C-alpha cells in the first residue's frame, strides 16, 4: 500500500502509467515516448512538464521525492524513474547517483602561486577608478583587456550570423515582470523614476521602469508575437547592467553597474543547443590560448521565477546552465565570467514567440561579464604585460591594432 492507502502498482504497471501520462497528457499524443527514450536530451521535457511529472510520480507512489533525488540520472527516461523511485526496484532515490561525472565540461589548471589581486595596482596607476558604490571607471590596460574580450565575442557572434543591437539601460518594469525577474530578484533591481515626478497614488505601481539587470530582457519583446523562420534567430548586444548587491559590492568582481556582452538565440531546441555548445567550445579554446586557469561546469541558479520549483528542477536536471569559472587568487577562488543558458520555452511562451510548425520556440543566452574577465586575466598574468605569455600579448595587441585601424570597439561609449 502507498502512504495514501492506494494499492502500490507493480513495476510494470507503474511503467505503463508513466508512459501513458507522458504520451497522452504531457505531450498530447504528439510523440511516442518509450521506456528508454531520453526525456531531457530529446526535448520532451520543459519547465512545466517536469513539475507535472514529479507530481504524478509522487501521487502514484504515495511518497514525496526529496530534492536531492531530482537529478538527471533519476529522470533521464521512464525506465530510470521506475528504477529510482519504485519501492520494489533495486535502486533508492536516497542513494541516487549524481549528475554524470562532476558536471564539469572543461578544466585547465595552472600554477597559482603567482596569482594576486590586480585591483590595488590598477587603481594606483589610474586604470581602475572607483566611481561610487559598486561602480568603477576603466582606462589604460583594464579597458584594453575589456575591449579585447568583447571584440573576440563579437567575432564569434558575427560568425553565427548575429545581428548587432544597442539597447537602452532603462527597461519597462512590466517586461521584467513578464520575464519573471521581478518575482525572482526584487532585491537586486534598481528602479528608476523622473526626479520631478508628481507623487503617485497608492493604486499606481511606481516607478514604471528599471535599469536592466541583463541585456537579453530587451530582446524578447523585440521578437514578441513573431513566427520564426527555418534558421535560428541570433542577436548580440553589449550594454550596462545593474544588480544591486548591498554590502557585497567588490571592485571588478561584484558590481552594481557592470558591462555585459550577450549572444541571444531563438529557434528549435536543437538549434539553440547547437549555438550554446559551439560557444562553450570557443570559450574553452580562448581560455587555453590565453593560458587561463579555468573550468566550465554545470550550474544552477533561480534564473526563472522564484518559488517555481518546476523551473528550478528543470535547470538542475536538464543541465540548462553552464558557467565559465576563472580563478582570481592563489587559493583557487573563482568567479563566473560567462554563462551558457538554455531557457527551453520559458521566454517564448511568455512573449508568444513560435516556430513555423506552431510550437513554442526555445531560447538561449550566452553572457559575458566583461569586468570579471579583466579581473581574472590580470590576477593570473599580472599587470606588467611584458611578463605575459606571448600568445596573450599578441591577442591584446591585435585588439589594439584594430582600434588604431579605425574599427573601434563595439562597447565604446558604454564603458568608462
Query: What pLDDT does residue 103 have?
Result: 64
Grid cell 507530481 is found at: 55
Higher pLDDT, 48 or 37: 37
CA distance readout (Å), 347 to 181, 285, 311: 11, 30, 12
The rounded distance, in Å, linking the Cα atoms of 56 and 62 is 10
Helix segments in 76-170, DSSP class H: 78-85, 119-124, 140-159
Measured between alpha carbons, how far is 122 from 339 in angstroms, rounded to an integer? 26
The answer, yes or no, to whether residue 409 has pLDDT greater than 70, is no
Find the range with the poorest average confidence among 28-37, 66-75, 259-268. Answer: 66-75
> Which of 22-26, 56-60, 97-101 has the weakest average pLDDT?
97-101
Q: Which of 242, 266, 236, 240 is nearest to 254 (CA)?
A: 242
Q: Are 305 and 28 in contact (CB under 8 A)?
A: no
Res. 133: pLDDT tops 80: yes
pLDDT in the model for residue 315? 55
Say which residue, 188 or 278, is predicted with more confidence. 278
Q: Which three cell numbers stand for residue 88?
A: 520494489
pLDDT (tens digit per residue) in 154-208: 999 999 999 999 999 999 999 999 998 887 778 889 999 887 656 655 555 556 8
Q: Determine the Cα–Cα distance for residues 316 and 297; give it in Å rounded to an integer.
A: 12
137-151, 191-205, 271-285, 340-354: which range is least confident on average? 191-205
Average the pLDDT over each of 164-178, 236-250, 356-370, 386-400 and give the range with the smallest value. 236-250
Bridge partners of 367?
Answer: 262, 339
| DSSP category for residue 217 | G
At residue 254's C-alpha, the angle toward residues 250 and 258, to 5°, is 115
In the chain, the domains with their CATH numbers are 11-95 (1.10.1200.10), 104-194+202-404 (3.30.930.10)
Q: What is the pLDDT of residue 96?
A: 34
- Res 367: pLDDT: 98
Burial class (CB in 10 A: 0-12, 13-18, 19+), 220: buried
Q: Give the pLDDT confidence score for residue 92 in this predicted structure.
A: 43
- Asked if pLDDT for residue 128 goes beyond 90, the answer is yes
pLDDT of residue 120: 95
Between helix 140-159 and helix 370-381 the angle, nearest 10°, is 120
Query: DSSP string of 293-313?
Result: -EEEEE-----S-TT-HHHHH
- The overall average pLDDT reported for the chain is 86
Helix spans in 290-389 (H)? 309-318, 346-350, 370-381
Percent of the chain with pLDDT over 70: 83
Helices (H) and strands (E) in the chain, counts: 14, 13
97 pLDDT higher than 80:
no
The predicted model gives 13-20 an average pLDDT of: 94
| Ranges 91-95, 108-112, 159-163, 257-261: which has the least confidence | 91-95
| pLDDT given at position 2 | 60
Instruction: Calculate what percentage of the chain has a pLDDT beyond 90.
Output: 65
Q: What pTM did the predictor assign?
A: 0.77
Amino acid at each position: 500500500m502507498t502512504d495514501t492507502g492506494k494499492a502500490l502498482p507493480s513495476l510494470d504497471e507503474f511503467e505503463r502509467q508513466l508512459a501513458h501520462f507522458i504520451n497522452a497528457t504531457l505531450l498530447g499524443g504528439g510523440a511516442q515516448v518509450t521506456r528508454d527514450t531520453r526525456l531531457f536530451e530529446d526535448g520532451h521535457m520543459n519547465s512545466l512538464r517536469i513539475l507535472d511529472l514529479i507530481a504524478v510520480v509522487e501521487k502514484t507512489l504515495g511518497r514525496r521525492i526529496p530534492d536531492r533525488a531530482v537529478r538527471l540520472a533519476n529522470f533521464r527516461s521512464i525506465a530510470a524513474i521506475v528504477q529510482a523511485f519504485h519501492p520494489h526496484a533495486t535502486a533508492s532515490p536516497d542513494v541516487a547517483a549524481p549528475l554524470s561525472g562532476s558536471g564539469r565540461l572543461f578544466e585547465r589548471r595552472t600554477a597559482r602561486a603567482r596569482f594576486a589581486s590586480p585591483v590595488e595596482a590598477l587603481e594606483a596607476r589610474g586604470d581602475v577608478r572607483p566611481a561610487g558604490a559598486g561602480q568603477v571607471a576603466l582606462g589604460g590596460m583594464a579597458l584594453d583587456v575589456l575591449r579585447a574580450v568583447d571584440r573576440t565575442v563579437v567575432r564569434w557572434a558575427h560568425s553565427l550570423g548575429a545581428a548587432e543591437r544597442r539597447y537602452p539601460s532603462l527597461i519597462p518594469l512590466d517586461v521584467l515582470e513578464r520575464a519573471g525577474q521581478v518575482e525572482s530578484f526584487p532585491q537586486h533591481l534598481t528602479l528608476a523614476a523622473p526626479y520631478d515626478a508628481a507623487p503617485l497614488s497608492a493604486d499606481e505601481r511606481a516607478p514604471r521602469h528599471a535599469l536592466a539587470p541583463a541585456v537579453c530582457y530587451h530582446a524578447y519583446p523585440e521578437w514578441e508575437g513573431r513566427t520564426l523562420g527555418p534558421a535560428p534567430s541570433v542577436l548580440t548586444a553589449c550594454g550596462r547592467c545593474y544588480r544591486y548587491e548591498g554590502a557585497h559590492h567588490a571592485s571588478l568582481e561584484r558590481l552594481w553597474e557592470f558591462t555585459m556582452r550577450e549572444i541571444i538565440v531563438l529557434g528549435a531546441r536543437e538549434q539553440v543547443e547547437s549555438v550554446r555548445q559551439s560557444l562553450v567550445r570557443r570559450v574553452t579554446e580562448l581560455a587555453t590560448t590565453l593560458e587561463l586557469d579555468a573550468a566550465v561546469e554545470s550550474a544552477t541558479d533561480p534564473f526563472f521565477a522564484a518559488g517555481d520549483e518546476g523551473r528550478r528542477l528543470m535547470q538542475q536536471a536538464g543541465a540548462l546552465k553552464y558557467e565559465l569559472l576563472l580563478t582570481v587568487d592563489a587559493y583557487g577562488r573563482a568567479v563566473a565570467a560567462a554563462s551558457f543558458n538554455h531557457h527551453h520555452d520559458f521566454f517564448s511562451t511568455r512573449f508568444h514567440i513560435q516556430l513555423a510548425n506552431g510550437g513554442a520556440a526555445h531560447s538561449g543566452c550566452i553572457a559575458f561579464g566583461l569586468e570579471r574577465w579583466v579581473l581574472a586575466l590580470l590576477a593570473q598574468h599580472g599587470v606588467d604585460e611584458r611578463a605575459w605569455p606571448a600568445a596573450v600579448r599578441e591577442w591584446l595587441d591585435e585588439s589594439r591594432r584594430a582600434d588604431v585601424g579605425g574599427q573601434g570597439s563595439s562597447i565604446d561609449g558604454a564603458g568608462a
